[in-house]
Amino acid sequence: MWVPWALDMDNEGTLYVTDRKGTLHFIREGQPLSAPMITFTDTFTTGESGLLGLALHPDFATNRLLFVYHTYKEAGTNKIYNRLMRLKVNATGDKATVDKIMLDQLPGSDANGNHSGGRIKIGPDGYLYIGVGEVYNQNIAQDLNSFGGKILRMTLDGDVPADNPFPGSYVYSWGHRNPQGLAWDASGQLYGSEHGATGHDEINKIIKGANYGWPIVQGDAVTKVNGVNTMAPILHAGSDTWAPSGMTFIKNGPWAGKLLVTNLRGSQLLLITLDDNGRVTQQSYFKNTYGRIRDVFEDPKGNLYFSTSNRTGTGAKPVANDDRIFKLTPKFVVEDQTTNTNIQLKADAHPNLESIDTAARTLTAMNGATVQNLLSQIQSANGTTQSYSLTDSNNNVKASGLLVTGDKLAVTAQNGITKATYIITVLPGAEAKLTAELKGGSSVYAGGTFDLTYGLIHVRDGIFAQDVTISFDSAKVQFLSAESLRSSFVIVETKVTDGKVRILAVSLGEDNAVKTDGPLLKLHWRALAQTSSTTSKLPCPMLLLLTVKRMRTEKQRLMEQEHK
């Protein structure tokens, strides 16, 4: 990759990543980087600019929306701006389009492309937070009429929240130089990382309406602006340079509650502990091991992902396979089988389904297949409990009816949290017709009994009654009895004449109509003793051949059943 900038993950475990050159990608476990979901051809990539921040909508699973922060060159004027956009991902999950420009013409740097800010995150309050740099125009950080050098806050539809500190304004905090990281602790308190001028990189506790002093002060220094003290950081780099970027509060394992901050110039992951007495301590990991580290993300299991940023031309020394995204699996993380969302076709019968690709999360169905067909013909790939639901391509619940291309099957794992969505494709061709079938064992001793099951496949509409007639050779087989295999589907009449049995069965009420494929009746038979090998046909409704053989020994032997 060329400078992956921001990471976020959906609840199916798909990792999304922005690339500074202007492309959005996704990565599924065990698969290579996807082709671009969208490419912005007007991207300005000089300095620290490009396609930067990324945040998935909290309801991404249903509305397929996400947000990105983008630096672009305006057509006609060649002026450089930043903007916040909302994108919509298509039903198959491989392409995205611009849904809405949320905020346009944010300050951009025409000179060197630096200090664009770019971090966007959705807070626990459900609002969108945006870090905007002062683009080397320092004084705008102290100008409340400019969005440069600020952290902004807006609703997910682009409105100004009613409780923002400055009425009618997106500004949440001000006096920032180049805010690069945003993260909330367990109490909902926001923290931010920020680049200093010469050293003095900061970790700040972000207070609504507060002024963080740039360019008047930096580091521990404070001053008054309009009679109000500026805010000092909880931690800064002093004369050292970290160039802190993405960060997250760890939620799982022994590091829970600690703040993990990526460092670009510092080339490390910085683990920061904030204790109840206000003391702040730090530990360094992977110092100078992977080069410049841009963003970090923790998944629900506790796995950590971080990205490198070594192809920026800022003194880093990229290796051949840079840039990269790494996954760290802590020792306490155990892959629990109850998180399984892989499904498979039932081995005994799946006449309406063609195939399932668990890696690509796709399912192929036959033309004419229904929701009920699908649900009755799939199962968990490892035997764990799963639940299933279907929606159409517009995410409307689909409880019945024919499947169409673009429908989606949601699989919820046994833990009730992990989910996966399979995109359905329906093969073209003639619609499968309602078909009856007889099935049974492969052999029986002459004189012995055997059973056949009668059932239906390609059921689409409710079946309220069945009038079944089976013809047989009464010299070779004898019909004994029939029983229903469904409690709400009862036999009301059985009539046997020479070589025929007629069975009339009905459903008990409209709500109990037969709506799914499968067996309905069990038919009990006896194979009569024969003096030579013969063939008997039972032609209703599917041709069934019964072959009766007499062995050359004294023992009577086998009637073979073959489906054709």
**CATH code of the domain in which 527 resides:** 2.60.40.680
Closest CA to 28 of 245, 321, 354, 299: 299
Tell whether 541 is covered by a domain.
Answer: yes
Most confident of 64-73, 306-315, 331-340, 542-551: 64-73
State the DSSP code for 371: H
Tell whether 415 is covered by a domain.
Answer: yes
User: Are 476 and 552 contained in the same domain?
Assistant: yes
Residue 335 is predicted with a pLDDT of 55
Catalytic center residues: 115
Instruction: Give the rounded percent of residues in the chain with a pLDDT score beyond 70.
Output: 91
Q: Report residue 535's pLDDT band, with 50, 70 and 90 as the boundaries.
A: very low
Q: Would you say 457 and 517 are in contact if contact means Cβ atoms under 8 Å apart?
A: yes
Residue 442 is predicted with a pLDDT of 60
| 28-48 tens-digit pLDDT | 877 888 999 999 999 999 989
Residue 556 is predicted with a pLDDT of 29
The DSSP-derived string for 473-502 is -TTTEEEEEEEESSTTEEEEEEEEETTEEE
| 405-458 tens-digit pLDDT | 999 999 998 888 888 999 999 998 766 667 787 887 766 677 788 888 988 877
User: Are 514 and 463 contained in the same domain?
Assistant: yes
Tell whether 44 is covered by a domain.
Answer: no
| 381-407 tens-digit pLDDT | 888 889 999 999 999 999 988 999 999
Distance CA 29, CA 340 (A): 13
User: Are 441 and 556 contained in the same domain?
Assistant: yes
User: Are 439 and 532 contained in the same domain?
Assistant: yes
Tell whether 152 is covered by a domain.
Answer: no
| 179-215 tens-digit pLDDT | 999 999 999 999 999 999 988 999 999 999 999 999 9
Residue 180 is predicted with a pLDDT of 94
Question: What is the average pLDDT score of the chain?
Answer: 87
User: Are 367 and 342 contained in the same domain?
Assistant: yes
Of the candidates 290, 307, 334, which is a domain's last residue? 334
CA distances in angstroms from 45 to 51, 307, 423, 532, listed in the order given = 8, 18, 35, 87
- Name 374's Cβ contacts closer than 8 Å, sequence gap at least 6: 352, 353, 363, 365, 390, 403, 409, 424
Residue 542 is predicted with a pLDDT of 31
Distance CA 103, CA 397 (A): 33
Tell whether 403 is covered by a domain.
Answer: yes
| 119-167 tens-digit pLDDT | 999 999 999 999 999 999 999 999 999 999 999 999 999 999 999 999 9
Distance CA 245, CA 519 (A): 61
User: Are 481 and 547 contained in the same domain?
Assistant: yes
Of the candidates 403, 426, 449, which is a domain's last residue? 426
Q: Looking at the predicted structure, is the pLDDT value of residue 516 above 70?
A: yes
User: Are 450 and 546 contained in the same domain?
Assistant: yes
Most confident of 252-261, 436-445, 510-519: 252-261
| 220-251 tens-digit pLDDT | 999 999 899 999 999 999 999 999 999 999 99
Tell whether 118 is covered by a domain.
Answer: no
Residue 320 is predicted with a pLDDT of 82
Tell whether 163 is covered by a domain.
Answer: no
Q: What is the average pLDDT across 510-524?
A: 85
User: Are 439 and 539 contained in the same domain?
Assistant: yes
Residue that has been written with the tokens 């770019």 in this structure: 118
Tell whether 452 is covered by a domain.
Answer: yes
Number of compact structural domains in the chain? 3
| 292-340 tens-digit pLDDT | 999 999 998 899 999 999 998 776 778 888 999 999 988 776 555 678 8
Q: Would you say 131 and 112 are in contact if contact means Cβ atoms under 8 Å apart?
A: no
User: Are 421 and 455 contained in the same domain?
Assistant: no
Q: Which residues pair with 268 in a beta bridge?
A: 263
Element (H, E) at 376: helix 371-376
Distance CA 506, CA 525 (A): 22
User: Are 443 and 494 contained in the same domain?
Assistant: yes
Q: What range does the domain containing 303 cover?
A: 245-334
Of the candidates 409, 426, 443, which is a domain's last residue? 426
| 358-368 tens-digit pLDDT | 888 999 998 88
Residue 437 is predicted with a pLDDT of 79
